Structure 1
């Protein structure tokens, strides 16, 4: 519990009337990846402080037809209980579906620090897909704190009390009091683990600890995870995420740290039950930024062989990412402004992050629940056409004819039309995968949940059996997983680990082995005249950008920072395009340069041919971007791979520093 937060203020609002409303802002278009400004809930006029805080969300992945649904909860200071909101369109709009009220304590209370979790496997009598919830229950006189667990078997509509995890003393977050705070759940080792912040131990002002259960009802004794020898130290707000390498990361704030403040620390362990044996490390970026307060952590499969760890902190709007399993950290822009314990939720494409915000520690009661979506790169272009090549066999998926029900099989890549597939991003964040030869969609027959089921093509049904998540794999390529079955597209292998030509593709539990990884080879571009795009250099992997809006500023390249100065739009002018920066509104301009090495700059629209570019397709989504006036190609000066290296014009060639991957993100 952060020491700047006054728990006593919470009980004073008990009995106030709640005003509940769905999102009232306009939603982005279906398939939007980056987005800011959405509102989930607004407090009523005159609401007490803080209005709202602590907004977190989950994405259902073990609930068949409900997979992909998002659920969220937050602290609501104008009413009692934990509100539960649902989104069916990947977080763009929200509707309240329930409130979790205290069913066992007879306390007219507000529940603090709400957390939701979907069971990925059965725990006791609760099947996979059960939603569990917990928060801090407090009576009107603040005399106790109690962390109780509730369960829902209908995806958050109704709730029942299950068990009590921990009971503490007075709800005051200063040393010497004995409350319990901040539950967080995860399943590992066939157990449900619950982490809490605990002030009951007389040896510690506050510590982080966990309990485990195999049935959801009976809980183990407490195990310490972060407990400093100095009594005044107050580690708090534990959040845990599983990394791509199978290890686990725990983030926490360390109030009372030697350097002061509440800096963000983390531990990485092989087993989430053994964080206590690991020494915490302060999160410090490569440019010496030290985030402070209220961390949250998650992991995305995009970003390279290790995926990407993302951490938020209360100290600023930016997020912090690591692509080397926590060894180094850099900053990323976020579309959601700074806030107290913002939630981080990976979406179905494996590269987009929903950031939920309950507000800041203000005293005027005006906090509302807002959200935005950030893009971490590495995805595919919606509307583009691809061959789907298996990483093990190097063969591609196709169909024998245009009939519904025909099997989808792998075959040698001979360039036949049936090998072309279009990926169409839906409002729920999943893709429909359309065979452009047959006009039919990749589907699981009858929505089967069975491993080994052979996949087919079928006319559009609008059902979950035709929805697919397409996520970058840290091992290379992509994994393609059905929304309904939660099983991955797989080429079965024989005893020698090999596949067969003309074999039907199947579904199986995700292992990310080579027979489940797919290389998406672009054969046709999306429509460049709609949406927003990034241009990443084929040599460096860095993104084209402009910094600032001063006319004549030279464009440069920089690592992906999820900022509009790296987003571009294309407007067709005959057979050419103007390329406009989303942040500044300026155009890429050759500025009269006609010799190799001439700079490429930003300038306001002029109508000049120096601002017109042709896109020469070099295959697999890579393009030469050639200026009409100079006849030279957009390039990175000196083929540099450095952040900040300037962009210039070079003689047209297919050298990697003169090729650009153009990815549609919005």
Structure 2
């Protein structure tokens, strides 16, 4: 831990030349008692962020919405979302074409109720109202491994709104799938959701746990999906799949992606470069639509594998930001020029 903190201090002191990225600035979303930061750009160019906030064992967690400037450097808290008696986490933001903002989350009463809920804001994130439930399990029979987790939105080219998530609700079926990657589509801006499609599963069922899916549309028009596969390896190696439309995907467990493990996140820049990060705390990139990958050295956040749940975004024409949980319970953004 001491070496990790020292490395962060050295990074903060001076820019670092890298293979493809020069890390320059650090911005703070939360100082403590926080985790899981995710961003979305507003129509006026500014940013919204969601972070999970923890208030002690007796009080359920909440989600805090923060407003940032167009460069992602300065942030101020804007609003908070809670669900009475329920722990909420895995916040995910998307700004729809009409300007409405959706906030997805996992919401649970452990062992009793698991839901993926959506709240909506029509005033830039200042106020929120419940909109819909994507999926749920209200009869887990005391089990902690029958939930639905980590919803991620993507606006598809045909106008449909996609949500991907990790899904344990097929674990009691025949065959039994410990966990799968599921998708639902909405044609009414998230007010209702279509039937579930399973995008990644272990053939014939079993103990493998594909999950934490995220996809991005690449420059060639296809969609790239990244996801972890837990079960055999506790550090959960990452694989990829590609789809022409973001809905029909090839069978199987995909193609392994080097240098990434657990909780992958990705973004495609306006130049076409695809960047990926994960709890391995490396950054890799592809300039040929995922055919070949290179590793950025040094990474945005040194220290190796850690359950810090990073995410990556294009902040400006030539800038990316890696959002990450930090030692001590803060959430920060490491910004670099590519």
Give the TM-score band, short-chain normalised: 0.7 to 0.9
User: 1:166 — aligned with what?
Assistant: 135
State whether structure 2 residue 277 is matched by structure 1 residue 312.
Answer: yes
The structural deviation recorded for 1:240 is 0.9
Q: Tell me the SS of whatever aligns to 2:261.
A: coil
Partner Cα distance (1:87, 1:244) in 2: 27
- Distance in 2 (CA, whole Å) between partners of 1:336 and 1:89 is 23
Residues 1:111 and 2:124 aligned together:
no
Counterpart selection for 2:320 from 353, 365, 369: 353
Cross-structure match for 2:3: none
Deviations 1:495-542 (A, max 9, x none): xxxxxxxxxxxxxxxxxxxxxxxxxxxxxxxxxxxxxxxxxxxxxxxx
| From 224, 235, 240, the counterpart of 1:266 | 240
Deviation at residue 173 of structure 1 after TM alignment: 8.8
Q: Distance in 1 between matches of 2:53 and 2:100?
A: 24
- The CA deviation string for residues 355-385 of structure 1, in whole angstroms up to 9 with x for no partner, is 111236xxxxx21011111111xxxxxxxxx
Q: What are the residue-to-residue correspondences of 1:119-518 with 2, within 5 Å?
A: 119-120=96-97, 128-139=98-109, 141-168=110-137, 170=140, 177-188=145-156, 189-201=158-170, 202=173, 203-215=176-188, 216-229=190-203, 230-257=205-232, 261-277=235-251, 280-284=254-258, 290-302=259-271, 307-316=272-281, 318-332=282-296, 333-337=298-302, 340-349=308-317, 351-359=318-326, 366-376=328-338
CA distance in 2, matches of 1:68, 1:57: 12
Shift of 1:182: 0.6
For structure 1, list consecutive stretches of 5 or more residues without a partner in the other structure.
1-24, 44-50, 121-127, 285-289, 361-365, 377-666
Q: What's the Cα RMSD here?
A: 2.5
Q: Measured at CA, do residues 261 and 355 of structure 1 come closer, stay the same or move farther in structure 2, by a change above 3 Å?
A: closer
1:80 Cα deviation from its structure 2 partner: 3.3
Higher Rg of the two aligned structures: 1
SS of equivalent residue, structure 2 residue 316: coil
CA distance in 2, matches of 1:173, 1:299: 38
Encode CA deviations 1:403-427: one digit per residue, 9 max, x unaligned.
xxxxxxxxxxxxxxxxxxxxxxxxx
Cα distance between partner residues in 1 of 2:23 and 2:70: 14
By how many angstroms is 1:171 displaced? 11
SS in 1 for 2:292: coil
Number of equivalenced pairs = 304
- SS at 2:267's partner residue? strand
TM-score (norm: length of structure 2):
0.83
Q: Please give the per-residue CA displacement for 1:145-181, whole angstroms capped at 9, x wherever unaligned.
A: 111111111111111111111112559997xx31110
Instruction: Name 1:101's counterpart in structure 2.
Output: 82
Instruction: Provide the C-alpha distance between the structure 2 equivalents of 1:238 and 1:112, rounded to a whole number of angstroms.
Output: 16
Q: Which has the higher strand share?
A: 2
1:383 matched to which residue of 2?
Answer: none
Give the Cα–Cα distance (whole angstroms) in 2 for the partners of residues 368 and 320 of structure 1.
Answer: 24
Q: Deviations over 1:275-297 (max 9, x none)?
A: 2547510012xxxxx32111101
Q: Which among 28, 32, 38 is matched to residue 27 of structure 2?
A: 38
TM-score, normalized by length of structure 1? 0.43
For the residue of structure 1 that corresponds to 2:219, the secondary structure is: coil
1:204 counterpart SS class: coil
- Determine if the alignment matches structure 1 residue 82 to structure 2 residue 66: no
Mapped to 2, the partners of 1:313 and 1:178 lie a distance apart of 24
Q: Deviations over 1:426-470 (max 9, x none)?
A: xxxxxxxxxxxxxxxxxxxxxxxxxxxxxxxxxxxxxxxxxxxxx
